Amino acid sequence: MKRFQINENTKRGLRVLNTICLTVLIFTFIELVDVWLLQDSMENFDAGDLKNQITGDNLTASEYADTVEEALLRKTGQLDSYQCNIDEEIFRMRNSDFMVIYYRAVGVKEEAFVYAKFRVLEQDNQEKYGLVGTEVDIRKARDKSGSNTAAECIYNQIVRSFLDFINYAEENHDDIDENNRVIVYGDICETHFAQGESIYNLQIDGQKPDEIKEYECFGKKYYFWYYDNLETKKTISQELITLTEDEQSTNEKDDSQRSDWLTPKKQIDIFADEAGEWSRNFDRSSSFTVADLNQDGRLELITDVIQGSGHFAYNHYFIVDKAGDLTELQSDRFGEYLSTYYDSEDGLIHVPVYYDEKRDVYYSIQGGGNVDRPSISFVYYLDSVSIENGGVKQETLAYQICEREDEYADLSYHYQDIDGKEITEEKFRTIAERKYVGLKNMQMTWKWQSISKEELDTMSKEELEELLMDSYQNFKIVDEAG
């Protein structure tokens, strides 16, 4: 029989083919093992356990701490040691018992920007915090920005926010639906914006952010943006994101020009005509004032009414819209915003204001009280108040707790931050200055008019207009340096 001969080239080809076949067999075996392992794990998989991990429902009482800093330290395995230090709190978001704090932690050669997610519960009449998870962004001096456009970055952050645990339903932690409040937020570097784009022009489906905070990291500007409730029924896409001054802004300018006939005197005239509407909740102890909190020429008539137990006052804000109708502004807290503590020398109220020139927003620092036990104890709230997106926005900065053993004893004072953590008096007094560092420091002055419902109802229109004009003429915002 003739022996079959194989040349060297054929031998090399067969060796290569043998190697390929062996490799395929190995990968096939690995895939089969993976399938077996997956099937085994799926038999033991519990979706409820995963959900509990996401929402923090699996946290035990021992994992909760009195402060967020302590909660971070209790789970140092999730973070490097320096990342547990909140060197600068950029923002915090709260939805029922879910909370996210975004902060900066400074390392030796790097900085960490951390989204720390907490569950909040009440134990022994005090809020306690359990760390659920963290997202960490490490930045170094020589880092290069990605190639994504600003719209792409913001779109990705919107999608992430929709899936974030802070948007779980308050009562049963189910996924969000169209009736729930949807918190949306993100952080973006200035290098992602093209010419003509700006974070301050940001709109998502025509809605502007509730807040934008600017800060620097290694010489670059970053912007944290935040929606307290993004309202849209459209499918989220990049087409819904606006970053340039668009046609809507032009229309708003046209509307402003069409409302030039609403001079301060004309607005006061309308306020006087509509007294029955804005004073409907007045009683024996009521007040009103006229202001221009956002300095846009659209005056606010603000009422201060004591109701119910008499331990708390309520503010309502009214404006005259461009059609000449009285309209009440929406607010995110039903309670006292504006201080009623006046200067004994001139009978006026003076409070600090911080002006964000880029956003054209004025943050006035107000104080109000809530009585716990009459003559024994009360809480003094230090609040920041601004007019944004056609509504009243309020943020509590800190508390002053005033107490005494009985109605004849001297008052004692102590101070707390918004987490209920004790702080010094000096930190309480300077908390607004530190929060709004870099903004223009100004002063706001205004005058309350105290009046009962009976007095108002028997007053002539001319007399009421005189009081309204007196408040308006005493209102001013001036440069603190001036």
pLDDT interval class at 176 (50, 70, 90): very low
Is residue 317 exposed (0-12), middle (13-18) or buried (19+ Cβ within 10 Å)?
buried
One domain, residues 437 and 320:
yes
Residue 47 in any domain: the answer is no
Q: Looking at residues 278-282, what average pLDDT do you find?
A: 89
One domain, residues 187 and 286:
no
Tell which of 251, 285, 307 closes a domain. 251
Give 415's strand partners: 400, 423
Domain count of the chain?
2
pLDDT interval class at 141 (50, 70, 90): confident
**Of 161-170, 258-267, 270-279, which gets the smallest average pLDDT?**
161-170
Token pair of 305 as six digits: 């009414």
CB-side neighbour CA atoms (13 Å) of 430: 7
Amino acid at 294: N
One domain, residues 298 and 434:
yes
Digit-coded pLDDT (tens) for 192-203: 999 889 999 999
Residue 28 in any domain: the answer is no
Residue 17 in any domain: the answer is no
Residue 390 in any domain: the answer is yes
Provide the sign of the torsion angle of the four alpha carbons 55, 58, 64, 69, taken in this order: negative
Q: Kindly list the distances between the CA atom of residue 280 and the CA atoms of 268, 321, 329, 398, in Å, as whole numbers in the listed order.
A: 18, 20, 16, 32
State how beta strands 391-403 and 330-331 pair. parallel
> What is residue 338's predicted lDDT score, i.e. its pLDDT?
54
In percent, the amount of the chain with pLDDT more than 90 equals 29
Residue 202 in any domain: the answer is yes
One domain, residues 168 and 316:
no
Tell which of 219, 251, 283 closes a domain. 251
Q: Are 185 and 91 in contact (CB under 8 A)?
A: yes
Token pair of 119 as six digits: 């569950």
The domain in which residue 212 lies consists of 56-251
* Helix, strand, coil in percent for the chain, rounding step 5: 30, 35, 35
Cα 260 from Cα 273, distance rounded (Å):
20
Residue 288 in any domain: the answer is yes
Cα 383 from Cα 272, distance rounded (Å):
30
Digit-coded pLDDT (tens) for 211-227: 888 888 988 899 999 88
Among 206, 56, 214, 234, smallest CA distance to 129 is for 56
